[in-house]
Every structure is written in C-alpha cells, then in structure tokens.
Amino acid sequence: MEDRIEIIEGDITRQKVDAIVNAANTSLLGGGGVDGAIHRAAGAELLEETRKIGGCPTGEARVSKGYCLPAKWVVHTVGPVWSGGRNDEDALLAGCYRSCFREAVKLGIKSIAFPSISTGAYRFPLDRATGIALTETRQFLLTNKTIAKVMFVCFGERVLNSYKKAYARIFG
Ligand code: ADP
C-alpha cells in the first residue's frame, strides 16, 4: 500500500494527476488560500461551472472539470471550520476524505492529489488533521484496487513534517 501514497512539498495547481482536491467553502464560488490558487490556475470557466453546481455542504464533495489545470478534474470538498473540537469537526473532516475518494472511484480515475484540508483559514489543528487524512486514506486503500496514487501536496515544510510524522505513526 505504501507505494500508492506520496507526500511532497509543492503547489497543488501544478500537479499532473487525474484529479486535484480543492479545500473549498460551502458556496463553491472561490475564496482565499488553495481555493483561490485553483480558481486562478483553472481560469474563469471553473467559476462558471461551480456556480451551476450551487454549493456543497461541509463534509461532502462535488466534481468539476479542471479547465486550464494539468489535472482533468477538480474534486471540491468543504472542510469544517475548527471551533474547539466539540462540533463534529473530526467526523466532518473524515467525511471530506471519504467523499473525495467516493467521487474518485465514480470518475474511474487512477491518481488524486489532496491539499491539507481545513488547516489554513479554517484553523483545524495540523497534526490532528494530517492524522485523519492518512487514517482515512489507509482505510480506503485497504479495500480499493483502482486508485494507484494518492498524493498529499504540502504547502511549506511545517505541513510536510506533519504528514511525515503522521505517516510514520499510521503506516510505520
Ligand atoms: P481551509 O479554508 O480549508 O483551511 P486553506 O486554503 O486556507 O483552506 O488552507 C488549506 C491548506 O492549503 C493549508 O495548508 C495551506 O497552506 C494550503 N495551500 C494554500 N495554497 C496551496 C497550494 N497552491 N497548493 C497546496 N496547498 C496550498
């Protein structure tokens, strides 16, 4: 299973994978952080399509095309805003990863890249979030045979180190 997971430092908008995941907000109309970067790189057609989708609840995912991105698809998911941990944040974040994997299977794709959902503007504690990301990925890959590559694209060394620590704990 280990060779199906890749943890790298980089910019998710540059990844040549079948789908990249966007850490969107419930409106799906774009925003700051990775969401803004994806909309800028994909071009205005992305917003036209996400406007038609009409939003997405927290913990779920919706698919659009990738337009000018190297990736063919964008899986938009809405992470929870951290508010202390007593508002189902863990389960909602796990739901994001599960929903994204479900959409990836429906698309029949082989590779998908994730950013660190909820850990920027939404303030989810980083180590807790990367633990959930890799726990859900492990669970998924144990039974799935179609996805050959799951990438975690870390924006900066702090995120990279957190994924490496979580990986050692969960897969080591
Ligand atoms: P959220 O609102 O879900 O917290 P953010 O976009 O604010 O989403 O942050 C999520 C993560 O995405 C953070 O780790 C942030 O540093 C990272 N990020 C920002 N831009 C990019 C990018 N171009 N590629 C990959 N990750 C990015």
- Domains within the chain, CATH numbers bracketed: 2-171 (3.40.220.10)
pTM > 0.95: yes or no: yes
Quick check: 151 pLDDT over 90? yes
Closest C-alpha to ligand 1, atom 18 = 34
**Predicted local confidence at residue 172, as pLDDT:** 87
Whole-number Å distance, alpha carbon 70 to ligand 1 midpoint, is 18
Ligand 1 mutation target, pool 22, 34, 157, most atoms within 8 A of CB: 34
Chain-wide mean pLDDT for the chain?
98
Q: Please tell me if the CB atom of residue 37 comes closer than 6 angstroms to any atom of ligand 1.
A: yes
Which pLDDT value is given to residue 69?
99
Q: What is the 157 CA–ligand 1 centroid distance (Å)?
A: 13
Tens of pLDDT, residue by residue over 62-89, are: 999 999 999 999 999 999 999 999 999 9
- The per-residue pLDDT for 137 is 98
% of the chain exceeding 70 in pLDDT:
100
Distance 119 CA to ligand 1 centre (A): 7
Quick: pLDDT tens for 1-24: 889 999 999 999 999 999 999 999
Check residues 172 and 143 and name the one with the higher pLDDT.
143
DSSP letters of the chain? -GGGEEEEES-GGG--SSEEEEEE-TT-S--SHHHHHHHHHH-HHHHHHHHHHT---TT-EEEEE-TTSSSSEEEEEEPPPPSSS-SSHHHHHHHHHHHHHHHHHHHT-SEEEE--TTSSTT---HHHHHHHHHHHHHHHHHH--S--EEEEEESSHHHHHHHHHHHHHHH-
pLDDT at 109 over 90: yes
